Structure 1
Amino acid sequence: MKNSTSLSWRALFFVFIFSALCVSGCSQAYYGAMEKAGIHKRDILVERVEKARDAQATAQEEFKSALEQFESVVYLENTDLKLAYEETSAAYKDSEEAAKTVSERIDRVEDVAEALFVEWESELEQYNSAELKRLSRQKITETRSRYGKMLTVMHRAEQSMAPVLTTFHDNVLFLKHNLNAQAIGSLKGEFSQLQKQITSLIGEMNRAIASSNDFLAQLQ
């Protein structure tokens, strides 16, 4: 039994390693194909940062819309409670999907950025001129530093979505289980908390968008 368990863990380990290598290999194959088509990693990085920035702007709008929907349920009288739940649930799902897209876009930025920096570092050895090599290394260091700052702000905005989604999910679930006027009244305090969280989230998103724009301006 012990040997069987050990083999199972080994099999899982090798599956994990194989999957990681496949993902890495697929990325490298993609970048190689794009390079042959005249589209370099730098171009791909610019495009992916733009898409991550746009996804954050979309997420902002989705969260704002969700808050407005929740407010309409909490403060409007004679609300059709079943319809209110359905619309609020749909708004939550839209926000959740927007958050997922933001995370995916940030992952894609990280993937190409690391590939680009590895390539730049390896190409330093091709210089014959010590001065040009020094200047190039300095440029890489500066770009990596700016990229790191942008990524930190992006991740901070990304992380700020989680507590909002948690609060929102709890309220949607509560609404589902308590479709009555008394339950709606008890959600007013929850709305105030959600409003504060979304206001903070929007601030983080705005900082991430501004940081992305700064990075793009310097890179281009």
Structure 2
Amino acid sequence: MLERNPQIQGRRFAQGLGLCLLAVVLGGCSSMYYNAMEKLGFEKRDILVDRVEEARDAQGEAQETFRSALERFQSVVGSPNTELQEKYDQISGAYEDSEEVAQDVRERIEAVEDVSEALFEEWEDELGRYESASLRRNSEQQLEETRQQYNQLIARMHDAEERMDPVLQAFEDQVLYLKHNLNAQAIGSLENELGRIRQDVDALIQDMEASIAESEAFIQRFQNGQ
């Protein structure tokens, strides 16, 4: 079998631990988690920035993994003398690596949505505690601006997330077809599909670049106090 991407292997333990914590948070214990973090001095806005950074990093890794997977698919077509089983192992490994990073991206986006919902709900509730009408209006305006910026960010993230699905499906289709037909004809089918797969991967990478740029801008606004 082909050795997997070393970057993925190197981060697997850390990601596994982090995703276990995310599973607890997303499993219905969010408010307890956020309350505990606030007692430690971490406000929801701080957690939001951290999670946007994590989602940005996950998308950056996904870019590289999908690009590498495409190269591995292309190399299978371009090496006619390679054993068919070895070809299958190569593209199967590429697909599995891509599916793994895609799942990480999905979970990071869910974590961003979870904390943003809690942050905006708390912000709205606290508006009623103002005695100064002018300060309340300023805070309402800031809330609306932040919400608009967030909506733009999460839309970009979902655009990139949705782009992953057709690429993953195309990868899986080719893996399954080669698995069921370990012959030269199956390799020819992969070669015929490579043009469309390449276009899908290019579009995915462009959407992820836009999402990463939007994440950077969002983080910068928060760090600068908007």
Report the TM-score, using the length of structure 1 for normalisation. 0.88
Structure 2 counterpart of 1:17: none
1:132 aligns with 2:140: no
**Which of 20, 38, 43 does residue 40 from structure 1 map onto?**
43
Q: Give the greater-gyration-radius structure (CA).
A: 1
Deviation by residue 1:151-181 (Cα, 9 ceiling, x = unmatched): 0010010000001111110001111112222
- Verify the 8 A CA contact 1:52 1:106 in the aligned structure 2: yes
Query: In the alignment, which residue of structure 1 is the partner of 2:146?
Result: 143
Query: Alpha-carbon deviation of 1:211?
Result: 0.6
Q: Does 2:85 match 1:77?
A: no
Alignment of 1:101 onto 2:94: no
* Contact 1:69–1:88, Cα closer than 8 Å, also in 2: yes
Q: What count of residue pairs does the alignment treat as equivalent?
A: 199
- 2:201 aligned with 1:203: no
Identical amino acids, percent of aligned pairs: 55
Distance 2:220 2:62 in 1: 23
Q: In the alignment, is residue 115 of structure 1 matched against residue 122 of structure 2?
A: no
Deviation of the 1:23 alpha carbon:
5.5
- Quote the residue 2:216 is aligned against: 213
Residues in 2 aligned to 1:75 and 1:190: alpha-carbon distance in whole angstroms: 14
Deviation per CA, 1:62-86, whole angstroms, max 9, x where unpaired?
A: 1111100100011222012111111
Aligned 8 A contact 1:59 1:95 in 2 = yes
Q: Does structure 1 conserve the Cα–Cα contact (< 8 Å) formed by 2:26 and 2:111?
A: no
Counterpart-to-counterpart distance in 2, 1:125 and 1:25: 27
Aligned to 1:7: none
Cα–Cα, structure 1 residues 25 and 80, in superposed 2: closer, same or farther, change >3 Å? closer
In the other structure, the counterpart of 1:169 is 172
SS at match of 1:126: coil
Q: CA deviation at 1:186?
A: 2.6
SS at match of 2:120: helix
Q: TM-score, normalised by structure 2?
A: 0.85
Contact (CA 8 Å) 2:91, 2:175: kept in 1 or not? yes
Deviations 1:121-140 (A, max 9, x none): 11111211111111111000
Question: Taking structure 1 as reference, are residues 75 and 118 closer, same or farther at Cα in structure 2, changes over 3 Å only?
Answer: same
Per-residue Cα deviation, 1:44-95 (whole angstroms, up to 9, x for no partner): 0000000001111111111111100100011222012111111210110110
Structure 2: distance between partners of 1:205 and 1:24: 27
Match of 1:29 among 25, 29, 32: 32
Partner of residue 187, structure 1: 190
Q: What is the aligned partner in structure 2 of residue 9 from structure 1?
A: none
Give the gaps of 5 or more residues in structure 2: 1-24
Q: Compute the displacement of 1:24 (Å).
A: 6.8
1:49 aligns with 2:48: no
Offset at 1:25? Answer: 4.7
- How much is the aligned-residue C-alpha RMSD, in angstroms? 1.3
